[in-house]
C-alpha cells in the first residue's frame, strides 16, 4: 500500500475526511481536500498512499513524480540536520537522509533518486546511491525490446541510462544525433546485453542500426519534419546545405543507403520516411 497507487473502498466519511479500506480492512485517511464532492460510502477510488508530516499513513489524489522502487529527477528544496528534502509533487517533500547521498546535496540543485521504503521506520525515503539498486545478475529484457530510459550520467563513451527502473544501459556518443540531458526520459531499444550485466542501448529501432551518421541525421530530421523533406537528388546544393548542412554528394550517398535499407521512399516532391 505505502508508496503505491491503491484502489480502495470508502468505508466511512467523518468530519476530517473519508476512511478508505483495502480487502484486508486496513484503513487510511483521505482528507477532505482530496475528496470528490459527490463521494459516497462504498465508492472505489484510486489514491496514492504515503506518510504525512507526522509519519501517519495518508491518501491523496495528487500525482507523485515517482512511486516505490522507481527513479526520478528531483530538485532539492531544503536541507537540515536530517538530510535533504526534495520536491516530488506532494505536499510533504521526500527526505534523502545523509546516509543515502553520494555527496552532500545542495538546495535548488537537481538529482536522480530512487524511492524506497525504510523497513526500520516504515517510512518512505529516497536514495541518491543509484548503483546499489542496479540489477546485473538477472536481466529482465531481451535484445530488440523497447524499453523506458532515464539519463543519469554523461561520460566520454556516451550517456548512462537506467533501463526500466532496473538495469544500467549505455547509449554510445557516436550513435546520438541530438542533445540528451541528465534527468531526461525517453524510449530506446536493447541493442546488446554484455557479460557484466550492463546493456547497450540504441535510441533507434533495430532496423536503423549501423546507418552511417549522415544518413542517421537525415532520419532524425525526417522525424522532426513529420516524415517528409522537400529534397531530391535533383535539388540545388545550396538548398540541401541550408536544410541539412551537408554537401549534395554526401546527401546523395546517404539517401542511397537509406533507400536500399527500405527506410525511405522517393517522390518527385521529396523524401518520405517509411
Q: What is the pLDDT of residues 27-65, one digit of tens each?
A: 999 999 998 888 899 999 999 999 988 888 999 999 999
Residue among 204, 209, 210, 218 nearest 271 (CA) = 218
Instruction: Enumerate residue ranges in the chain where pLDDT < 50.
Output: none
Options 1.20.1290.10, 3.40.1050.10, 1.10.10.10, 3.40.50.300; which CATH number does 213-273 get? 1.10.10.10
Helix (H, G, I), strand (E, B) or coil at 112: strand
User: What does the DSSP 8-state code read for residue 132?
Assistant: G
Q: What is the pLDDT of residue 18?
A: 93
The reply to whether domains 71-131 and 213-273 share a CATH topology is no
Q: Which CATH class is domain 5-60?
A: mainly beta
CA–CA dist 229, 221 (Å, integer): 8
> Which residue's entry shows cell 544518413?
215
CB crowding 12-24: b at 16 or more within 10 Å, else e: ebeeebbbbeeee
In what order do the strands lie in the sheet containing 83-87? 94-97, 83-87, 71-80, 110-118, 123-127
Pick the CATH number of 146-207 from 3.40.50.460, 3.10.330.20, 2.40.50.140, 3.40.50.620: 2.40.50.140
CA nearest neighbour of 61 among 29, 34, 27, 92: 34
Measure the CA–CA gap between 199 and 140, rounded to whole angstroms.
11
CATH superfamily membership of 71-131 = Nucleic acid-binding proteins (2.40.50.140)
Burial 136-157 (b: 16+ CB within 10 A, else e): eeebebeeeeebebbbbeeeee
**pLDDT given for residue 211 in this prediction:** 58
Burial class (CB in 10 A: 0-12, 13-18, 19+), 111: buried
Helix, strand or coil for residue 207?
A: helix
Cβ contact 9:42 at 8 Å: yes
Determine the Cα–Cα distance for residues 191 and 183; give it in Å rounded to an integer: 22
Q: What is the pLDDT of residue 207?
A: 57
Q: Give the pLDDT of residue 220.
A: 85
Element containing residue 150 per DSSP (H, E) = strand 146-154
C-alpha distances out from residue 8 to 12, 35, 42, 146, 183, Å: 12, 13, 9, 32, 32
Q: Which helix (H) or strand (E) holds 244?
A: helix 237-244
Domains of the chain, by residue range, sit at 5-60, 71-131, 146-207, 213-273
Amino acid at each position: 500500500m505505502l508508496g503505491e497507487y491503491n484502489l480502495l473502498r470508502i468505508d466511512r466519511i467523518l468530519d476530517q475526511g473519508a476512511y478508505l479500506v483495502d480487502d484486508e480492512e486496513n484503513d487510511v485517511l483521505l482528507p477532505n481536500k482530496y475528496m470528490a464532492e459527490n463521494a459516497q460510502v462504498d465508492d472505489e477510488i484510486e489514491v496514492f498512499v504515503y506518510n504525512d508530516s507526522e509519519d501517519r499513513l495518508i491518501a491523496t489524489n495528487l500525482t507523485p513524480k515517482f512511486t516505490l522502487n522507481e527513479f526520478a529527477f528531483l530538485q532539492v528544496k531544503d536541507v537540515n540536520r536530517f538530510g535533504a528534502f526534495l520536491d516530488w509533487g506532494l505536499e510533504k517533500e521526500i527526505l534523502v537522509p545523509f546516509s543515502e547521498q553520494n555527496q552532500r546535496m545542495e538546495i535548488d540543485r537537481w538529482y536522480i533518486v530512487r524511492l524506497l521504503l525504510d523497513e526500520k521506520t516504515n517510512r518512505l525515503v529516497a536514495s541518491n546511491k543509484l548503483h546499489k539498486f542496479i540489477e546485473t545478475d538477472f536481466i529482465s529484457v531481451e535484445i530488440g525490446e523497447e524499453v523506458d530510459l532515464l539519463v543519469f550520467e554523461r561520460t566520454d563513451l556516451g550517456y548512462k541510462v537506467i533501463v526500466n527502473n532496473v538495469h544500467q544501459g549505455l547509449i554510445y556518443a557516436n550513435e546520438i544525433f541530438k542533445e540528451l540531458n541528465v534527468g531526461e526520459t525517453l524510449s530506446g531499444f536493447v541493442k546488446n546485453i554484455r557479460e557484466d550485466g550492463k546493456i547497450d542501448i540504441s535510441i533507434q529501432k533495430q532496423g536503423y542500426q549501423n546507418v552511417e551518421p549522415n544518413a542517421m541525421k537525415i532520419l532524425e530530421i525526417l522525424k522532426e519534419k513529420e516524415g517528409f523533406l522537400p529534397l531530391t537528388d535533383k535539388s540545388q546544393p545550396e538548398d540541401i546545405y541550408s536544410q541539412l548542412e551537408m554537401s549534395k554528394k554526401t546527401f546523395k550517398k546517404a539517401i542511397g543507403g537509406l533507400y536500399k535499407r527500405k527506410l525511405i521512399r522517393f517522390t518527385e516532391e521529396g523524401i518520405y520516411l517509411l
